């Protein structure tokens, strides 16, 4: 049975949680958390790396003990340490840990102080007012826990796009290998590159003799078969992801792909447009009366109502139909348009590979330049660079550039924006760099006015180049901080600086709406990987997907420029 990076990461996170509940050594807990983070951020499956003879201890944060546990999990599907922890602790603690607002420290307090280890016990204690006196809780936290408990069953599970991709890719490959299958395509929110997906909608063209439906429900990772028929089946994978498979006829394939890809609002608008022309659009085709007039391809569906094909990422009913009618659809940026990456880390701060290794990996991804942007000194947890260490790295980059072929390293820094808007390093030093990436790493709860003024003041520094991950959000873990993004975008235009679209699957920040805002205001966006190791350049594809959702074209993206033009833009001479 296939075991994915996310599966191993989940095991390591659970080990870390249970160890923390047991008050284990914090360094041991952190080691498992770091390993889980590494596995989720890898661009390749660790099982493939192992099969190719790669030394897993070369992965960031993976020592010999953790490498052995990864091999154990891949071989057996279990980890002996986790099994031991399950025997030592109540089995229902995992349900408490899954509740918003309850991390392992709070769950540990609930368990050790009040002997709470089920959701029912927690609900009773919260209603009785027994949580508020625990250290770090209080009345507000108690009320939040009550609300979370009461709403828990009504909130459907959603998967981050990259996580869903770990399961979608192998499943699609499996289906393509089934006899009689001619085409396989994922539709739905996954095809629209939404940041999270609730389920997967997969369409196949297959002849009636094909065993594709039977093979699908027997797939190794299926936990539950919800329904099964000749043309449709629904399963739940072991990870909890629901997958719907539909077998469609060749003549209806385009109509089905259109029907199951667009958002509900987009589909309603398209059907209304068709009705005004005496047509009916459904998953089987486009009809005038009983006569089918289109449906074999998606393009034929759009053409039947007088529109050009609309890219999936735009199908949200946010102006794309009108733009198509006017011939004003954007020619969306594609991964191959990127010529560089302007945000990456090495082992000098919290990255895990050398300058030369990062340069070689970026070149292998087709990039012509790479900015090295370590953290600055304020972020001590990430081993941020002091002025002295930054100067040393600048010299190293100059020496390495003399030897590199096919790629150029740029000298940069990811400098902390302090709460008063100052930058963590002096302008005299920042002025010697090729670019300065400013980032908010603290003070997320400032008021909208204070957060906005803080960032605007930072952007006023003469050498400020790019605002990193502009809203600070971590998908499903941390909400965006409250900020007036329109003011920031317009200030960037006035100042001649740029905004980042951070492609890390945990961030995908800028939000799509803000990408479009930047485009409309004439502010260039830089799609950056924020790579902390050589495998994370693969995440650029997720950034491109987000950019496409934000209507960005090649001309709207800073790092589609040649190095010469990029330097001119950074220096304000173009």
- Give 63-103 pLDDT, tens digit per residue: 999 999 999 999 888 899 988 888 888 777 777 887 777 88
Q: Are residues 404 and 473 in the same domain?
A: yes
Q: What is the pLDDT of residues 549-573, one digit of tens each?
A: 999 999 999 999 999 999 999 998 7
Domain that holds residue 131: 5-154
Q: Are residues 194 and 316 in the same domain?
A: no
Which uninterrupted H or E stretch holds 201?
A: strand 199-206
The whole-number pLDDT of residue 124 equals: 81
What's the average model confidence in pLDDT over 321-328? 95
- pTM reported for the whole predicted model: 0.80
- Let me know if residue 216 belongs to a domain: yes
Partners of 417 in the β-ladder: 423
Would you say 320 and 266 are in contact if contact means Cβ atoms under 8 Å apart? yes
Average pLDDT across the chain, whole number: 92
> Is 500 a residue whose pLDDT tops 60?
yes
Q: What is the pLDDT of residues 455-477, one digit of tens each?
A: 999 999 999 999 999 999 998 88
Q: Are residues 58 and 109 in the same domain?
A: yes
Q: Are residues 299 and 394 in the same domain?
A: no
> Is 129 a residue whose pLDDT tops 90?
no
Q: Which long-range contacts (CB under 8 A, 24 or more apart) does 128-134 make?
A: 134/106, 134/109, 134/110
Q: Are residues 466 and 405 in the same domain?
A: yes
> Is 324 a residue whose pLDDT tops 80?
yes
Which uninterrupted H or E stretch holds 351?
A: none
The whole-number pLDDT of residue 97 equals: 82
- Let me know if residue 330 belongs to a domain: no
- Let me know if residue 270 belongs to a domain: yes
Q: Are residues 445 and 516 in the same domain?
A: yes
Q: 400, 399, 397, 392: which is closest to 411 by C-alpha? A: 397
Q: Are residues 314 and 339 in the same domain?
A: no
Q: 426, 528, 514, 419: which is closest to 468 by C-alpha? A: 528
The whole-number pLDDT of residue 150 equals: 67
Answer with the residue of higher pLDDT: 95 or 260. Answer: 260
- Let me know if residue 441 belongs to a domain: yes
Q: What is the pLDDT of residues 368-415, one digit of tens each?
A: 999 999 999 988 777 889 999 999 999 999 999 999 999 999 999 999
The whole-number pLDDT of residue 450 equals: 96
Q: 275, 284, 286: which is closest to 256 by C-alpha? A: 284
- Let me know if residue 495 belongs to a domain: yes
> Is 154 a residue whose pLDDT tops 60?
no
> Is 503 a residue whose pLDDT tops 90?
yes
Q: For the chain, how many structural domains are there in total?
A: 4
Q: What is the pLDDT of residues 415-433, one digit of tens each?
A: 999 999 999 999 999 999 9
**Among the ranges given (121-125, 172-176, 284-288, 348-352), the one the predictor scored with the smallest mean pLDDT:** 121-125
Compute the distance between CA of residue 420 and CA of residue 423 in angstroms, rounded to an integer. Answer: 9
**Among the ranges given (85-94, 270-279, 339-348), the one the predictor scored with the smallest mean pLDDT:** 85-94
> Is 153 a residue whose pLDDT tops 60?
no
Question: What is the percent of the chain with per-residue pLDDT over 70, rounded to a whole number?
Answer: 98
Would you say 199 and 158 are in contact if contact means Cβ atoms under 8 Å apart? no
**Among the ranges given (75-84, 237-246, 305-314), the one the predictor scored with the smallest mean pLDDT:** 75-84
Q: Are residues 94 and 171 in the same domain?
A: no
Domain boundary (198, 227, 248) is at 248
Domain boundary (111, 126, 154) is at 154
> Is 175 a residue whose pLDDT tops 50?
yes
């Amino acid at each position: 049975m296939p075991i994915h990076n996310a599966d191993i990461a989940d095991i390591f996170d659970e080990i870390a949680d249970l160890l923390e509940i047991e008050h284990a050594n914090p360094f041991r807990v952190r080691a498992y958390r770091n390993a889980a983070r590494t596995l989720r951020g890898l661009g390749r499956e660790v099982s493939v790396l192992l099969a190719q003879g790669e030394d897993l201890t070369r992965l960031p944060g993976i020592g010999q003990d953790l490498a052995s546990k990864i091999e154990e999990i891949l071989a057996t599907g279990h980890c002996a340490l986790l099994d031991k922890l399950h025997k030592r602790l109540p089995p229902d603690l995992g349900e408490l840990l899954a509740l918003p607002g309850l991390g392992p420290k709070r769950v540990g307090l609930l368990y050790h102080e009040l002997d709470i280890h089920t959701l029912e016990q927690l609900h009773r204690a919260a209603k009785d007012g027994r949580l508020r006196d625990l250290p770090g809780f209080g009345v507000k936290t108690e009320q939040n826990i009550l609300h979370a408990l009461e709403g828990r069953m009504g909130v459907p599970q959603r998967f981050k796009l990259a996580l869903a991709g770990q399961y979608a890719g192998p499943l699609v490959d499996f289906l393509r290998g089934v006899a009689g299958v001619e085409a396989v395509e994922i539709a739905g929110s996954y095809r629209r590159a939404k940041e999270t997906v609730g389920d997967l909608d997969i369409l196949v063209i297959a002849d009636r003799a094909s065993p594709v439906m039977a093979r699908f429900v027997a797939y190794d990772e299926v936990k539950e078969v919800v329904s099964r028929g000749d043309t449709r089946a629904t399963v739940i994978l072991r990870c909890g992801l629901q997958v719907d498979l539909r077998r469609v006829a060749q003549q209806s394939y385009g109509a089905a792909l259109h029907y199951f890809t667009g958002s509900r609002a987009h589909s309603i608008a398209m059907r209304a447009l068709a009705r005004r022309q005496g047509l009916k659009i459904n998953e089987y085709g486009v009809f005038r009366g009983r006569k089918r007039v289109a449906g074999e391809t998606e393009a034929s569906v759009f053409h039947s109502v007088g529109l050009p094909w609309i890219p999936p990422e735009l199908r949200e009913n946010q102006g794309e139909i009108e733009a198509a009618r006017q011939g004003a659809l954007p020619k969306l940026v594609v991964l191959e348009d990127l010529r560089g990456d302007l945000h990456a880390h090495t082992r000098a701060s919290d990255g895990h590979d050398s300058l030369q290794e990062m340069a070689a990996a970026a070149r292998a991804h087709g990039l012509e330049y790479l900015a090295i942007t370590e953290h600055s000194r304020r972020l001590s947890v990430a081993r941020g660079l002091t002025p002295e260490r930054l100067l040393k790295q600048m010299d190293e980059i100059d020496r390495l550039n003399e030897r590199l072929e096919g790629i150029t390293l740029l000298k940069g820094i990811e400098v902390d924006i302090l709460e008063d808007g100052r930058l963590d390093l002096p302008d005299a030093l920042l002025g010697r760099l090729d670019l300065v990436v400013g980032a908010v790493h603290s003070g997320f709860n400032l008021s909208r006015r204070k957060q906005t003024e803080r960032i605007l003041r930072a952007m006023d520094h003469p050498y400020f180049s790019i605002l990193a991950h502009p809203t600070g959000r971590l998908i499903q873990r941390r909400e965006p901080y409250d900020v007036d993004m329109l003011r920031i975008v317009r200030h960037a235009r006035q100042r001649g600086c740029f905004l980042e679209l951070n492609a890390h699957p945990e961030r995908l920040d800028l939000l799509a709406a803000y990408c479009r805002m930047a485009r409309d205001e004439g502010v260039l966006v830089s799609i950056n990987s924020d790579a902390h190791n050589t495998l994370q350049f693969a995440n650029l594809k997720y950034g491109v997907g987000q950019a496409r959702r934000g209507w960005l074209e090649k001309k709207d993206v800073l790092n589609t420029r040649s190095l010469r033009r990029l330097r001119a833009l950074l220096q304000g001479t173009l």
